[in-house]
């Protein structure tokens, strides 16, 4: 537990949280960042990042996040590997509860990201970043003129499938045994696309390959193997944690935190940035959100100190 309040507590250590911490600490705010898992978030471990400015030859997610972390450390941010289990707004002070104690701050930046639902099938984690992908915008350019499978029943699966069909040689659409959700926008366009082949009435049971994915296996009697170069798991994401909702932070029906143009939530002194606000879902947009949230936090904290 801190003996004196922090100026700002940042919940989440992905690109948004690290950028926010970098900005606030550089401007002299006493900054504490909580990340219970891996600093760098979902970007850590990405096999290839080719669309982040300043890296004309591309880089890996791990290398990029290592640079984020080193730059954040340079400005004296305090890191704690603790799980946040509660957030209370008491007006000018915010109380953040973890399994290790409680901490107070003048402002809080929520940068928890989102959790992609997983299938939990053999090969998914083994080939993550080596053919198993969760974002067509992020990784689609790696599969130009290649064969991919898109797994999912909802809006994200259809949108990702259409995006991949623009550049991939072939797209296997695998909605699972339950089929596609009704009334999904652009579903007819997707199912009628010349590059799309729908695999009906079968579920994905495993992902296999060598150094990279080479095929997937389905639970059907005939032709259970599909040869593919990549698998996009376009499952609906889980929104922000119940902890944030219990704190009174407003979200939309999909669980995305609602913010204004300055990343302010409905709670005064509480800001949000990155994938948890469901914006661009890119490293660069998360970093931009983090920077905007930090600048708004700086103005807010300085107004309290006057």
Say how far apart CA 189 and CA 285 lie, in whole Å.
Answer: 29
Query: Any idea what the CATH number is for the domain that residue 57 is in?
Result: 3.50.50.60
Last residue of a domain, one of 233, 252, 280: 233
Say how far apart CA 210 and CA 140 lie, in whole Å.
Answer: 20
* Radius of gyration of the chain measured on its C-alpha atoms: 21
Residues 110 and 121 in one domain: no
DSSP conformational letter for 96: E
Q: Tokens 């504490």 — which residue?
A: 32
**Residue span of the structural domain in which 176 resides:** 117-233
- 1 inside domain: no
pTM, 2 dp: 0.68
pLDDT mean across residues, the chain = 89
Say how far apart CA 249 and CA 304 lie, in whole Å.
Answer: 21
Last residue of a domain, one of 175, 207, 233: 233
- 59 inside domain: yes
- Burial readout 157-188 (b: 16 or more C-beta within 10 A, e: otherwise): bbbbbbbbbeebebbbbbbbeeebeeebeebe
Q: Tokens 């989440």 — which residue?
A: 12
Residues 121 and 178 in one domain: yes
Nearest of 167, 163, 7, 175 to residue 78 by alpha carbon = 7
Provide the CB-side half-sphere exposure for 23 (13 A, CA).
20
- 252 inside domain: yes
Residues 88 and 159 in one domain: no
Whole-number pLDDT of residue 266? 94
Residues 105 and 251 in one domain: yes
Last residue of a domain, one of 233, 264, 296: 233
Say how far apart CA 148 and CA 277 lie, in whole Å.
Answer: 29
Enumerate the β-bridge partners of residue 218.
Answer: 204
DSSP code per residue over 268-299: TTEEE-GGGGTS--SHHHHHHHHHHHHHHHHH
Evaluate whether 140 touches 257 at the Cβ level (below 8 Å).
no
Whole-number pLDDT of residue 281? 81
- 29 inside domain: yes
In the three-class reduction of DSSP (H, G, I as helix; E, B as strand; rest coil), residue 130 is classed as coil
Q: Tokens 């366009």 — which residue?
A: 189
- 17 inside domain: yes
Q: Tokens 């798991």 — which residue?
A: 233
Residues 138 and 109 in one domain: no
Whole-number pLDDT of residue 18? 97
Residues 98 and 244 in one domain: yes
- 286 inside domain: yes
In the three-class reduction of DSSP (H, G, I as helix; E, B as strand; rest coil), residue 40 is classed as coil
Spans in the chain with pLDDT lower than 70: 1-3, 115-118, 222, 236-242
List of residues 6+ apart from 101 with CB closer than 8 A = 1
The structural domain count of the chain equals 2
Residues 213 and 248 in one domain: no
- 292 inside domain: yes
Can you say whether the dihedral through the CA atoms of 135, 136, 138, 143 is positive or negative? Answer: positive
Residues 210 and 76 in one domain: no
Whole-number pLDDT of residue 107? 96
Residues 89 and 46 in one domain: yes
Residues 122 and 229 in one domain: yes
Whole-number pLDDT of residue 128? 85
Residues 100 and 205 in one domain: no
- 301 inside domain: yes
List of residues 6+ apart from 190 with CB closer than 8 A = 158, 161, 162, 165, 173, 196
Interval 106-154: pLDDT, tens: 999 999 887 666 677 899 989 988 999 887 877 888 999 999 999 988 8
Residues 97 and 246 in one domain: yes
């Amino acid at each position: 537990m801190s003996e004196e309040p922090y100026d700002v507590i940042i919940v989440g250590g992905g690109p948004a949280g690290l950028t926010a911490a970098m900005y606030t600490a550089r401007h002299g705010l006493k900054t504490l960042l909580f990340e219970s898992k891996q600093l760098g978030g979902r970007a850590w471990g990405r096999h290839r990042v080719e669309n982040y400015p300043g890296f004309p030859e591309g880089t890996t997610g791990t290398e990029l996040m290592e640079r984020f972390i080193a730059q954040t450390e340079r400005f004296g941010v305090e890191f704690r590997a603790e799980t946040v289990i509660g957030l209370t707004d008491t007006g000018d002070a915010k109380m953040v509860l973890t399994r290790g104690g409680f901490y107070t701050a003048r402002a809080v930046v929520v940068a928890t990201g989102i959790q992609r639902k997983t299938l939990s099938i053999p090969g998914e984690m083994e080939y993550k970043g080596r053919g198993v992908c969760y974002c067509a915008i992020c990784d689609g350019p790696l599969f130009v003129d290649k064969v991919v499978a898109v797994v999912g029943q909802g809006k994200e699966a259809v949108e990702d499938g259409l995006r991949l069909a623009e550049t991939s040689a072939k797209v296997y659409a695998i909605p699972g045994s339950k089929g596609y959700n009704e009334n999904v926008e652009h579903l007819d366009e997707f199912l009628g696309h010349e590059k799309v082949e729908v695999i009906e009435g079968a579920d994905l049971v495993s992902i296999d390959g060598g150094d990279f994915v080479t095929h997937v296996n389905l639970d059907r009697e005939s032709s259970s193997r599909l040869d593919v170069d990549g698998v996009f798991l376009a499952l609906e994401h889980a929104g922000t944690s119940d902890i944030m909702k219990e704190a009174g932070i407003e979200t939309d029906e999909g669980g995305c935190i609602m913010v204004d143009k300055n990343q302010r939530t409905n709670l005064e002194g509480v800001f949000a940035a990155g994938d948890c606000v469901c914006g661009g879902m890119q490293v660069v947009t998360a970093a931009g959100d983090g920077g905007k949230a930090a600048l708004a936090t700086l103005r807010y904290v300085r107004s309290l100190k006057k």
